[in-house]
Amino acid sequence: MSLAHTTMIPSGDTEGQPSAWAALLSVQKENARLRKLVAENGPATKMVTRSAMRRRVSFQIPGEEDELEDETEEEEEEEEEEKETEDKSDEVQSAEERSRLKKLVRWDKTRLKSLESGLKTLAADKAKLLEAQQLFDTQRTELTKFHEQLLAAKAEIEAERTRSQRQNAADAQQTMNRCKEAERRVKGERRELEGRIKGDWARVVEWKRQLEVDTEKLRVERSRMGQSSSWLVGENARLEELSARLEADNTHLVSQNANLAQTATDLQQENGRIEELLDDSKRAVARIQNKKAQLEELNRELMERERVAQDMLNAVTADLERARGIREEDNALHCFSPPQSHSSPGFMLASPPQSSPTLRSRKRGRAALHDDEDYENTNARVSKKSTMTAAGTTLKLRPRGAAVTRETIAKITTGAPSIIVQRLPLVPPTPQRANSISRPSTAIC
């Protein structure tokens, strides 16, 4: 077996081992030359060549020693046979041939020394190649582990993206349901208020304007919420793009396993890119969480404003009911004149004051029942206001109880939901309508 078969040369690129390859080629050429020399010069040269081959066993590469030992035993047997024929051949050979053979032997010794040094270099290069092969296997194992880590990170990112999409969809659906429920509740309240404030629409005009402003604010907030939803969709698309980039990077890393030196350089670059991508993913998740917290805070604020508006509406409704009860009480205690045409709806035409004992006792009893500061101030303030009808009769406005002031309307309209109060038409009252309005007073008279 030749040296080319016993030496393990890795397939592929042999860059970095020029000395080992050159030594191998030189040994093969030397073996061919020695065989040719033996064929040309006979048994004497063959004996010298075999003795030189025996000296090569001491530095032969492991794996070829056993075969060379077998060849050495065969050569010893052949030498014993050749010694018998050597005496006969020495007589035939001339002195010139012997001198030429001695020169060849000296040249072969010099050449063999250079081959010995080349084989030692070849053995050292082989050890280096084995060490490089082990390093390559180690780094390939590390690359495989890193690839598995990348796949695990990709699966985690995908799960987080799916959970975020489901959570965002559920939050959006809940917000829409709450908005629809609030709209239905507001519509019902609006219909109820329209039936209660037909006679008091003048005091609600300012409130209506404020409610329109609040409705516009709510519309702006809803548009902002829509923009936030579109931003979340964009962030989800960006996460998908990052996942695609991670898959491309994984494919690139797998393709780089063939070259050891290039793989080391590419690993450093890919590590930097992957860290940047992971940082971008973390920042994107943080932005999504911040936006979600802002949306929840806005939703709580809207619910609080709706609650405050509901409380204010309940207060106004109570005030209106109280005013209606007081007017009915006044109608029951006083005797009014028959209804006149062109009178204002919701108010009664007061008859000239009477000074009967019964009326005075009733007034004293009513004053005793309502003897509080709000009632006296309101009565004193409203009793001074009067208007004239077409017939020249004085129309006195005598509401009882605490009046709805501008401060109360301002409190109600601050943070109220989007309630649109329709303006009531100003229709001049007809005699039939006035008669129906003043029906309680006529019944008493």
Q: What is the pLDDT of residue 308?
A: 92
The answer to whether 390 and 341 are in contact (CB under 8 A) is: yes
- Contact, 400 vs 329, CB < 8 A? yes
pLDDT at 311: 92
99-124 per-position pLDDT tens digit: 777 788 888 788 788 888 888 888 88
Higher pLDDT, 6 or 413: 413
Note whether 362 and 333 are within 8 A (CB): yes
Q: Is the pLDDT of residue 328 over 60?
A: yes
With bands split at pLDDT 50, 70 and 90, how would you rate the model's confidence at 180? confident
Q: Is the pLDDT of residue 369 over 90?
A: no
What pLDDT score was predicted for residue 342? 43
Q: What is the pLDDT of residue 70?
A: 57
Collapsed DSSP state (helix, strand, coil) of residue 356: coil
Answer whether residue 354 shows pLDDT above 50.
no
Distance CA 380, CA 363 (A): 15
CB-based contact 416:309 (threshold 8 Å) = yes
% of the chain surpassing 70 pLDDT:
54
- Share the mean pLDDT of the chain: 67
| Distance from C-alpha of 201 to C-alpha of 203, rounded to nearest angstrom | 5
Amino acid at the residue 387: T
- Average pLDDT for residues 294-301, to the nearest whole number? 90
pLDDT at 14: 43
State the CB neighbour count (10 A cutoff) for residue 9: 14
Maximum Cα interatomic distance, the chain, rounded to a whole number of Å: 184
Q: Of the given ranges (231-235, 402-406, 438-442), which has the lowest mean pLDDT?
A: 438-442
In this prediction, residue 329 carries a pLDDT of: 85
Above 70 in pLDDT, residue 158?
Answer: yes
SS3 content of the chain, % helix, strand, coil (to 5): 80, 0, 20
Element (H, E) at 388: strand 386-388
Predicted confidence band at 272 (pLDDT cuts at 50, 70, 90)?
Answer: confident
Helix (H, G, I), strand (E, B) or coil at 395: strand
For residues 142-161, give the mean pLDDT. Answer: 89
Q: What is the pLDDT of residues 187-244, one digit of tens each?
A: 888 788 777 767 677 676 777 778 788 888 888 888 888 787 788 788 888 888 888 8
What is d(CA 35, CA 294) in angstroms, rounded to the nearest whole number? Answer: 92
Q: Quote the CA–CA distance of 28 and 179 in Å, as a whole number.
A: 92
Which residue, chain included where needed, has tokens 């930097």?
A: 272
Give one DSSP letter per residue of 263-301, joined into a string.
HHHHHHHHHHHHHHHHHHHHHHHHHHHHHHHHHHHHHHH
Higher pLDDT, 243 or 266: 243
Exposed / middle / buried, residue 282 (Cβ in 10 Å: 0-12, 13-18, 19+):
exposed
Of 52-61, 135-144, 270-279, the least confident = 52-61
For residue 62, pLDDT beyond 50:
no
